[in-house]
Structure 1
Amino acid sequence: MSHIYIYSPSSAVRDKAAFRRGVARLKQLGHQVEVDEAALASHMRFAGDDATRLAAIGRAAASGADVALISRGGYGLTRILPDVPFKRLAKAVERGTRFVGLSDFTALQCALLATTGAVTWAGPALGEDFGTEDTPDDIMEACFDDLLCGQGEGSGWQLPKSDLPDLLARRKGSDTEAPELQVRNALLWGGNLTVLCSLLGTPWMPSVKGGVLFLEDVNEHPYRIERQLTQLLHAGVLNQQKAVVLGSFNRYQLTAHDKGFKLQTVITWLRSQTRTPVLTGLPFGHLPTKVLLPMGQRVELMVKGRDALIFWG
């Protein structure tokens, strides 16, 4: 049995039924679930005013829980980053608390990595993943269980066929028996593309060279995704990485005005602009099937054929 602390550092919880289902689901799995006193607070669009959410983050750090799990993402962390107690969070990580979340949580993860080097986990949120009306995704739950048991060593997935021409072109003339891509001792970092771009030029943006950068987003049209990737490209971030790994970009609507411009258009263009290999298909983002990724951990990345593996064990 693990001790899981639920708190709300970003947007207010609107779907309280999903919140209750998520808590009940974790309890059914045998965990001790502690809910922060302000987890269901509401102030405008936020889960309480800034002071309330900062206090909740502090209580999560002091909880001694095995996992501190966000209730949901949304928006709200970037505005309070100057007052987040990063040293206390890093101490909590040293004591064994694993901070887990995604989406807006990227802001806190990046800032904690930039200021202390502490490792957090990109993974599920309570309502969206454990509180779904359907049965929570088996892969997501298995990855979460691996985290709790300390057994997680890596995440593998199958690349789409559209990734292969670029990979094969990059290894032209090399040993045909070698992996299409092999990266060693690279720092894994990233998260939500929009949030990450909002940190450029601030003290909360990690300065990572030779890393593996993973990205996802939701409700963003491909042209907006391209605009933000262009920002990372022109800021020099992408060319400093050993690989860029794209997860899910979903819940957007194409229009007749696009005239064939789509997400694959963005990916093809990006590959023509950067020397860094760009992989896709990572099962991570705002979708039921998601792996957990150690943000700030040194990893190995290997691609053989269409099989890709990020390994940190």
Structure 2
Amino acid sequence: MTFSALPRRSALGLLAAAPVMIGARGLARAAPTSPPRPPLRKPRALKAGDTLGLVAPAGFIADRFGLEEIMEAVRAMGLEPKPAAHMLDRNGYLAGSDKDRADDLMKMFRDDSVSAIMSVRGGWGCARILPLLDYAEIARHPKIFCGFSDNTALHLAFAAHTGVPSVHGPNASASWPQDAWDAFHALAFEGATPTYKVPANVGTSLSAQTNPVRTFHPGTARGRLLGGNLTVLSALVGTPYLPDFTGAILFIEDTNESEYRIDRMLTQLSLAGIFDKVAGIVFGQCTNCVNPDGGWGNFTIYEVLDRQFASLGKPAFQGAAIGHIAHQDSIPVGIPAEIDSIAGTIRVLEPLTA
């Protein structure tokens, strides 16, 4: 019998039994279901001379010369690069078939000669391989995995199913300015517990001396760091690859999205009950997030964020060096941290590595 054929009273009974929650704004929201939180399994720290596995779980590399440049950058890190077998494959906008990209990633986790893994780029395609990964095997071979943008899908799936923390940081093809390298080195090599602060404005104008932090709600909060690219995260809502955000610090960023699209995706997270669960929110950078056709009635990106976050009653700020920028911080996904939304800081509370 179809739902539409049920008697009205029975249909209402089914609706009443559906799991919902009433959020802070009085909206009825579906209660998100997440897999049980796995125990934390920390990888070992990197040291000079270690082998870094290079994978392309999403977009393709244009040619072998691009790969050679990436490998030179890895050698400059004091590491030995090991490209995946299908690194130069291409299947439309993807770096080979879903099966081959998943196999490449799994082989890097299983290979005892590989100490850590780094994605060469983002693009689109990581979510396509999530059902093909062996999460139990990844948990048995905890290794640092680093990348950002579309690699958010992997960070979240690892947090949901393996307990292995990862690094939301530069891809191997990044320009790696000194501060970005120092941030990654501190986490991955030194076992440091850094404090990240919203970078000060630079320039000669008077405005360069003002506080660059945009505080939507004041306060401090503690929780494990979870998040990444907003577009990728929102696309995983309702799937089994989203971790439990209860008590977490949600960090998000995006690029090339109009203000109304950012609003739409944040609303999706709100309606899914995620904002009700988190302890605090950090919005990094929204690079080129301007609708050229917005007109006089358009919201700025900061108005969008203020309208979404100010009424939550939870510490929330914008401006962290997280996102599609060269000088980005490396954020340890799955590791506890404390945020101060007035100071604009993220203080990592324990090392990423064992």
TM-score category, normalised to shorter length: 0.7 to 0.9
Distance in 1 between the 2:92 and 2:271 partners? 35
CA contact (8 A) 1:54 1:84 kept: yes
Structure 1, 203-212 or 13-22: larger mean CA deviation:
13-22
Normalised TM-score (structure 2): 0.76
Deviation at 1:9, TM superposition (A): 0.9
Classify the secondary structure of the residue corresponding to 1:270: helix
User: Structure 2 residue aligned with 1:163, among 195, 214, 221?
Assistant: 214
Q: Deviations over 1:48-88 (max 9, x none)?
A: 11111111011111233222000111111212211211111
Counterpart of 1:60, as a letter, is M
Distance in 2 between the 1:296 and 1:82 partners? 21
Which residue is equivalent to 1:83? 132
Q: Deviations over 1:90-137 (max 9, x none)?
A: 2221xxx2011111111111112112222111111011x1xx3xxx31
Normalised TM-score (structure 1): 0.86
Deviation at 1:162, TM superposition (A): 5.8
Distance in 2 between the 1:287 and 1:162 partners? 17
Classify the secondary structure of the residue corresponding to 1:146: helix
Which residue is equivalent to 2:88? 40
CA contact (8 A) 2:337 2:346 kept: no
Deviation at 1:153, TM superposition (A): 0.8
Classify the secondary structure of the residue corresponding to 1:51: helix
Distance in 2 between the 1:298 and 1:162 partners? 22
Alignment size in residue pairs: 289
- Unmatched segments (≥5 aa) in structure 2: 1-47, 200-210
Deviation at 1:309, TM superposition (A): 3.0
User: Structure 1 residue aligned with 2:60, among 3, 8, 12?
Assistant: 12
Distance in 1 between the 2:72 and 2:140 partners? 29
User: Percent same amino acid among aligned pairs?
Assistant: 26
**Cα pair distance change 1:12/1:257, threshold 3 Å:** same
Distance in 2 between the 1:43 and 1:261 partners? 39
1:145 to 2:191 alignment: no
Q: CA-atom RMSD, angstroms?
A: 1.9
Give the structure with the higher percent helix.
1
User: Structure 2 residue aligned with 1:190, among 208, 227, 238?
Assistant: 227
Deviation at 1:11, TM superposition (A): 1.2
**Cα pair distance change 1:18/1:256, threshold 3 Å:** same
**Cα pair distance change 1:80/1:149, threshold 3 Å:** closer
Which residue is equivalent to 1:100? 146
- Unmatched segments (≥5 aa) in structure 1: 171-180
Bigger Cα Rg: 2
Distance in 2 between the 1:253 and 1:190 partners? 22
User: Structure 1 residue aligned with 2:155, among 109, 113, 121?
Assistant: 109
Classify the secondary structure of the residue corresponding to 1:156: strand
Counterpart of 1:121, as a letter, is V
**Cα pair distance change 1:17/1:248, threshold 3 Å:** farther
Counterpart of 1:246, as a letter, is F
User: Structure 2 residue aligned with 1:123, among 169, 194, 212?
Assistant: 169
Which residue is equivalent to 1:66? 115
**Cα pair distance change 1:25/1:183, threshold 3 Å:** same
Which residue is equivalent to 2:16? none
User: Structure 1 residue aligned with 2:315, among 258, 261, 277?
Assistant: 277
Distance in 1 between the 2:146 and 2:122 partners? 11
Counterpart of 2:147, as a letter, is G
Structure 1, 242-251 or 24-33: larger mean CA deviation:
24-33
